[in-house]
Amino acid sequence: MNITIMVAEDDPNISEVVSEYLKAAGFIVISVSDGKKAAEIIENGSAIDLYILDIMLPGPTGLELLGMIRDYRGDAPVIMLTALSDEHTQLHSFNKKADDFVTKPFSPKVLVKRVEALLHRCGKLRRTLEFGSVTIDIDNYEAYEDGNKVELTLKELEILKALIDRRNRVLSRQQLMDIVWGNDYFGDERTVDAHIKNLRKKFNREIIRTVKGVGYRIMEEDS
């Protein structure tokens, strides 16, 4: 995940905690402690995917920086941080087109979730499902092996997703049919076998194991 977030916060403790939680979630973080440095980054056109701005920054305030972001970066997502919880401050932030508003004190875990939700809405953060060398891009219905796209049909992708979602279980053919085709489907269970066979052909590694007399399970790569 190559998503960069700028945290503009003059309280070193808050800045450190927020930055560490964001890094732990897989984000690249640029941390600044004053509005002047933040303004330079905005004006220079640095590739920032989301901004977290303290309203009471020294130098240009967070609200002034928000205006600059709208001028220079258009609709880039912005979350405002502040100890001011009054209605006027919040309305002023939203009138300047802030995307979210978080009052101090706050939970850094919840802030990360707000960041992720906002990035999802903006299309910058895709939901993925990973297992070993295989990644499924859930939002775009795409599968990858070692970062290389694997062309799958919708049913093949749904079977693969079902197996990865239930990686600690063996799924029978009937269970896969119920999950992928629906409980109302009364087709032949051999349909599942045919799709599994095609799935195996499309991956370089053997990723699906047949459990004789039971069904299928996703296979650990070191098995």
C-beta of residue 19 within 8 angstroms of C-beta of residue 29:
yes
Cα separation, 161 vs 209, whole angstroms = 15
Does CATH place domain 128-218 in 1.10.10.10? yes
On whether the CB atoms of residues 163 and 217 are closer than 8 A, the answer is: yes
| β-pair partners for 210 | 216
Confidence of residue 94 (pLDDT cuts 50, 70, 90): low
Helix 35-43 / helix 62-73 crossing angle, nearest 10 deg? 0
What are the structural domain ranges in the chain? 4-121, 128-218
| Least trusted range by pLDDT, from 33-42, 90-99, 116-125, 209-218 | 90-99
**Residue 223 confidence class, pLDDT cut points 50, 70, 90:** very low
Token pair listed for 121: 């809405």
- Cα torsion angle, 3, 127, 106, 95, sign: positive
pLDDT at 120: 84
Segment 176-205 mean pLDDT:
87
Instruction: Please give the average per-residue pLDDT across 111-134, as a whole number.
Output: 86
Q: What is the pLDDT of residue 217?
A: 93
Q: Specify the pTM.
A: 0.62
Residue ranges of E strands in 117-162: 128-131, 134-137, 142-145, 148-150
Q: Which CATH superfamily is domain 4-121 in?
A: Response regulator (3.40.50.2300)
